[in-house]
């Protein structure tokens, strides 16, 4: 099947518009969990991938809506679809409807549907605040919150196999990783009108400092774990390559 990728014991079809950094998330998660001695069953691998691709599709379509009112209606309708309520909104595309239906099945199978709906509501509200704020400090807070909420969704899915050390690491990783993404994409996102904070030198320096500060906190966790350290080095290398690519294509 064109565009299909093997995850777990089957195939998923992310679609041609999925951003490439999301395609590596299932592989990264499998490597990361193995670093903590956790082997993900095929079904959990697929469930985590459904979560990742659902978030990617929602975020991509939300970015394409220029008006705050349209984004507000879109967010309400995303939650309605996640609750299996019928809606009429062309911005909620068949692609997204399909992912939300899969995500609803995942949440119900893990008995966390109510928690999922509440966290996703918080994510959508936080996303709008991050989009419209002109405060660098507020943007950083929103970026860290976004990372935390996405990790909470993942940990709900992995609750049966997760360990305290893995959950602690993921909570610490969330802020640093999301700040790295925002730093990489800041200039492009501003040019597209997806954020209101100007990507000035001082703003980028703030993002860098906050990212580095949170990354240092991970050293104690990863230093004694060679597999985890190797994963971190590879991930950092990948982020730097993506950062240089996006920087060279933003001029």
The DSSP annotation for 36-105 comes to TTPPPPHHHHHHHHHHHHHHHHHHHHHHT--SHHHHHHHHHHHHHHHTT-----TTS-HHHHHHHHHHHH
Structure tokens at 190: 């501003």
- Outline where DSSP puts E strands in the chain: 5-7, 10-12
Q: 3-class DSSP state for residue 215? A: helix
- The residue among 206, 58, 185 whose CA lies nearest residue 126 is 58
pLDDT at position 247 is 41
What is the percent of the chain where pLDDT is above 70?
Answer: 82
Q: What's the angle, vertex CA 81, arms to CA 80 and CA 85, rounded to 5?
A: 65
Q: Is the pLDDT of residue 204 over 50?
A: yes
Structure tokens at 197: 């904070």
pLDDT at position 250 is 43
Mean pLDDT of the chain: 84
pLDDT at position 226 is 60
The per-residue pLDDT for range 111-128, each reduced to its tens digit, is 999 999 999 999 999 999
- The Cα–Cα gap between 216 and 172 comes to 10
- Phi, psi angles (nearest 5°) of residue 11: -120, 145
- The residue among 56, 94, 23 whose CA lies nearest residue 7 is 23
- The Cα–Cα gap between 228 and 233 comes to 9
Please check whether residue 109 is in contact with residue 160, taking contact to mean a CB–CB distance below 8 angstroms: no
* CB within 8 Å of 108: residues ≥ 6 apart: none
Per the listing, tokens 């050293």 go with 219
The per-residue pLDDT for range 122-161, each reduced to its tens digit, is 999 999 999 999 999 999 999 999 999 999 999 999 999 9
- The residue among 99, 57, 108, 107 whose CA lies nearest residue 81 is 99
């Amino acid at each position: 099947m064109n565009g299909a990728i093997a995850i777990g014991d089957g195939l998923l079809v992310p679609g041609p518009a999925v951003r490439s950094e999301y395609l590596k998330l299932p592989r990264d998660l499998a490597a990361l969990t193995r670093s903590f001695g956790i082997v993900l069953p095929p079904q959990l691998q697929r469930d985590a991938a459904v979560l990742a691709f659902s978030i990617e599709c929602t975020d991509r379509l939300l970015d394409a809506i220029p008006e705050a009112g349209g984004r507000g209606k879109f967010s309400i309708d995303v939650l309605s679809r996640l609750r299996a309520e019928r809606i009429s909104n062309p911005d909620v595309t068949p692609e997204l409807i399909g992912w939300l239906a899969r995500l609803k099945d995942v949440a119900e199978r893990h008995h966390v549907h109510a928690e999922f709906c509440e966290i996703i509501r918080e994510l959508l509200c936080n996303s709008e605040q991050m989009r419209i704020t002109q405060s660098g400090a507020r943007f950083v807070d929103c970026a860290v919150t976004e990372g935390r909420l996405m990790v909470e969704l993942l940990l709900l899915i992995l609750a049966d196999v997760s360990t305290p050390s893995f959950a602690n690491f993921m909570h610490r990783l969330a802020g640093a990783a999301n700040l790295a993404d925002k730093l990489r994409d800041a200039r492009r996102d501003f040019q597209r009108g997806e954020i209101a904070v100007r990507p000035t030198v001082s703003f980028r320096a703030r993002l860098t400092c906050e990212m580095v500060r949170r990354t240092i906190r991970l050293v104690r966790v990863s230093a004694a774990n060679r597999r985890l350290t190797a994963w971190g080095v590879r991930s950092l290398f990948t982020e730097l390559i993506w950062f240089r690519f996006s920087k060279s294509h933003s001029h």
